[in-house]
A and B are shown apart, each in its own frame.
Chain A
Amino acid sequence: MGKKLHVTTTINGEQVEFLCEARQSLLEVLRDVLGLTGAKEGCNNGNCGACTVLFDGLPVDSCLVLGVEAEGATIQTVEGIACDGRLHPLQQCFLEGAALQCGVCTPGFLVAAKALLDKHPHATEEQIRFELSGNLCRCTGYDKIVRAVMEAAKEMTHA
């Protein structure tokens, strides 16, 4: 085993310290070191988006970030989306709209969609489809996912 490096970072609003090897991805650290298993490993090469987290506010594939690169960064994972035990409108709309089957892609879609709606609260269907092109789903055929994001956008802008 390689030498362990000490990293201090902020995850879902809390300061976190961990030890990891340089070769470990942020995804491995989240899941195997910190027990945050929301982000999923789909492809482990940047294509599927199942491992999406926000890194300093931007959606990234955590399988393509090294754990050591998290030093001093601010990270948000799907675990931080619900607030005070209440589901985020996106989560509610995914549930109500049956926008998932196996669910492996869901955390990634939720994080990417949240970033999208935070940036473009009135995102059009085309914008949603374009910006979520880095997230793959092999079950749903995408339509229900896109509808759920549109529905959540509607709710969030009326609230």
Chain B
Amino acid sequence: MKDFEYAAAATLDEAVSLLAARGERAKILAGGTDIIVQLREGLREADLVVDVKKIPEIMTYRFDPASGLSLGAAVPCYRIYEDGDVAAAYPALADAARIIGGWQIQSRASIGGNLCNSSPAADSIPALIALGAACKIAGPEGMRSVPVEQFCTSPGKNVLRRGELLVSIQFPPPAAKSGSHYLRFIPRNEMDIAVVGAGAWLRMQDGVIAEGRIGLAAVAPTPKLAEQASRFLAGKPASEETFRQAGELARQSASPISDMRGPAQYRLHLVGVLTRRALAKAAERAGA
């Protein structure tokens, strides 16, 4: 690996000014499980690596049932599923955190890193989309917020501009009678990249679905919100038939490619199946 300078920024301001000064030649280091591999394999290059794990806002999280969850971008996955309150309030997030790599990866890998790496197959992103999360971004012009479904722009690319970094991911407070789930299909039992991933969130009211959201991974150049399928859910009973129809609609929003993990046709089939299963489990968790 080519050598680079290393700086452990202590504050957001310090990180922003380092990143603004170096632009493309600076790379952010969170858990390092993507970036170190990419630098080593020459897929990315850096003159400066900015470690953000010493910045308090980025390494901590705050959960309050009334105001929601503010998840520091570099908080490692294991802290999410080991916190019973957070895992219970945002089950789809915990599902994703539990399957990103194995234990060694989860000790370091963060949800913010997963999001900023912006892989079409990133496991946490459909869960974040389903849960209605937003990205809090710091930059030379101050703070801004972007809904997760608008964050990624193409494989490996996102809306971050020169000098910007992701500070945290903001989740709305858990609604009464709501539930969520994320699942993926992989040919192995563990430790693999999703052929397709699906996240679902549902809120029940008066015996029917009041609203729902479905996020998909590995079916388009970026993870995405299945808009039509999500809208369809409102007012429907939480039944197998509803979930099957939502799966059909989700297929229509998918535009998968064929690659070594599977042909497009197979991925389309999986979108239907996984959407149905994600919704069924989310409904069960919502107590429907």
Contacts and interface: CB of A to CB of B under 8 A. Distances in A.
Interface of A: 1-3, 5, 21-23, 25, 44-47, 49, 52, 55, 58-61, 63-66, 68-69, 71, 112, 115-116, 130-135
Contacts of A66: 6, 29, 32, 36, 49
- The listed residue with most B CB atoms (<10 A of its CB), out of A60, A130, A131, is A60
Interface of B: 1-6, 8, 29, 31-33, 36-37, 39-41, 49, 51, 53, 78, 101-105, 107-108, 189-191
A23 B102 contact: no
Contacts of B49: 22, 66
Nearest to A44: B40
Contact of A61 (B8, B40, B104): B104
Given A22-B5, A23-B3, 9 more contacts: A3-B3, A47-B191, A55-B107, A59-B103, A61-B105, A64-B105, A65-B108, A69-B53, A112-B103
Contacts of A46: 33, 37, 101, 104-105
Given A22-B6, A66-B32, A68-B6, A131 B103 contact: yes
Contacts, number: 85
A31 B184 CA distance: 37
Contact of A49 (B29, B78, B102): B102
B57 to A, nearest CB: 19
Contacts of B5: 3, 22
A58 B32 contact: no
A3 B40 CA distance: 18
Contact of B102 (A5, A44, A133): A133
